[in-house]
Amino acid sequence: MKPVNVGICGLGTVGGGTFNTLTQNAQNIARRAGRDIVIAQVATRHPNPNVDTGSVAVTADVNDVINNPTIDIVVELIGGYTIAKDVVLGAIAQGKHVVTANKALIAVHGDEIFAAAEAKGVSVMYEAAVAGGIPIIKALREGLAANRIQWLAGIINGTGNFILTEMRDKGRDFADVLAEAQALGYAEADPTFDVEGIDAAHKLTILSSIAYGIPLQFERCYTEGISRITPQDVEFAEELGYRIKHLGISRQTADGIDLRVHPTMIPVARPIAKVDGVLNAVMVNGDAVGDTLYVGAGAGAGPTASAVVADIVDLARSIDAPASARVSHLAFNQIEDVQVMAMEDVETSYYLRIQALDQAGVLASVASILSERGINIEAIIQKEPKANDEYAQIILLTHRIVERTMNEAILAIEGLVSTVGSVTRIRVEHLNG
Ligand code: HSE
């Protein structure tokens, strides 16, 4: 059978990994695809010292790849929204299939890109955009197709998980661990995307669209990062039998889709609580299958290349088939515009840490603010002031309550003369059905 020709745009961490995987595993990949997959051209402005491009044609201009008539599949591994978007739309306009690892591009411009691809009868594949090497897109789009997905929750930013793990296990400093994640090629070009939850929100947006068959709505995703998590909260969480993970959570509710990324306390006993370092994990609950869990490396050259190459193989297998034989871009042939809930309407449990003067009646005042609003306390710990500190710490776990009510309670607690500074709030999820 005629080989499939691939053009790779971008030869950084993921581009280099893809080049090397396609080259090193060429024979095995050809056996799977039923035909050879040939790297016909590479576009890069910066040579990658880990890649020997050998006799493959290298250009500095992505347009050479887009306009190369021998290329069947353009692999966009540049990242960002600008050149990458031009490459993807340009390749589609030339009738080429596209494989991308670009979660930001898909989450923000995916609806436009998929519409363009459908009009041209080509496919845009994006397995590598979410959770690196874990085939979670394939699982949701195909493996779980029988189910009504009820909720999903994932550790979907490797850098953030690496930082939280190192802070907890080794007491390391936030900035120091972030610098290591950057050196290892895990972090985004702009690492605030990792630590402020934007990268996770891109990925959650994509997962939710293919889980529920809804348009991509990144702008409606509530996003909170890990930069305000203190070693103290990590320690108190453990004392209460919980672990802090940065989760993307989405749920199908009667009031719409709950879509949020934030630090979350989860029971230590849940398997996902033990997923550490740069590993990612996604739990998916479907009405027929129940709970499922997918774990693996979420970033880095090899794991991300594994997902990119899987998409290339998928396309190579189906390239001669009509477009109608391929799985729809967002898994559903009919997309329904379901409302994403406002964060204030979401219901969850809470961990609160309150700094207070060490005097009689503080706890009673806090408890009365909560009880007046129907907030039920599950557990409470009071820590005496440490040496050289005049403030006590009150740590509370609450039962589920709507976020709007908790916002009001926190404002009232912060207004007490006996409390100091802001209340730390971490949402708690039990992930048990
Ligand atoms: N910066 C991302 C992460 C890379 O740390 O998970 C993979 O998308």
Given this model, what pLDDT does residue 432 score?
85
Helix (H), strand (E) at residue 103: helix 103-120
Q: From its phi and psi, is residue 299 left (phi > 0), alpha (psi between -120 and 50) or beta? A: beta
Given this model, what pLDDT does residue 413 score?
98
* pLDDT tens-digit profile, the chain (433 residues): 899 999 999 999 999 999 999 999 999 999 999 999 999 999 999 999 999 999 999 999 999 999 999 999 999 999 999 999 999 999 999 999 999 999 999 999 999 999 999 999 999 999 999 999 999 999 999 999 999 999 999 999 999 999 999 989 998 888 899 999 999 888 898 999 999 999 999 999 999 999 999 999 999 999 999 988 988 899 999 999 999 999 999 999 999 999 999 999 999 999 999 999 999 999 999 999 999 999 999 999 999 999 999 999 999 999 999 999 999 999 999 999 999 999 999 999 999 999 999 889 999 999 999 999 999 999 999 888 877 778 999 999 999 999 999 999 999 999 999 999 999 999 999 998 7
CATH topology of domain 4-133+301-325: Rossmann fold (3.40.50)
CA torsion through residues 144, 133, 158, 106, sign:
negative
Could you identify the atom of ligand 1 that is nearest to the CA of residue 194? 1
**In angstroms, rounded to a whole number, what is the distance separating the alpha carbons of residues 158 and 226?**
12
The superfamily (CATH) of domain 136-297 is: Dihydrodipicolinate Reductase; domain 2 (3.30.360.10)
Residue type, 235: E
Calculate the CA 233 to chain-centre distance. Answer: 23
Given this model, what pLDDT does residue 389 score?
78
Could you identify the atom of ligand 1 that is nearest to the CA of residue 203? 8
Q: Quick check: 186 and 162 in contact, CB under 8 A?
A: yes
> Within 6 Å (CB) of ligand 1, which residues are found?
132, 157-159, 186-188, 194, 199, 298-299
| Residue 283 token pair | 């739990």
Identify the active-site residue in 96, 103, 203, 245.
203
The superfamily (CATH) of domain 345-428 is: ACT domain (3.30.70.260)
| Residue 31 token pair | 């056996």
CA–centroid distance, residue 242 to ligand 1 (Å): 25
Q: Give residue limits of the domains in the chain.
A: 4-133+301-325, 136-297, 345-428
2 is catalytic: no
Q: Quick check: 335 and 20 in contact, CB under 8 A?
A: no
**In angstroms, rounded to a whole number, what is the distance separating the alpha carbons of residues 287 and 224?**
29
CA–centroid distance, residue 395 to ligand 1 (Å): 32
Lookup result for tokens 């990792």? 194
CA–centroid distance, residue 4 to ligand 1 (Å): 29
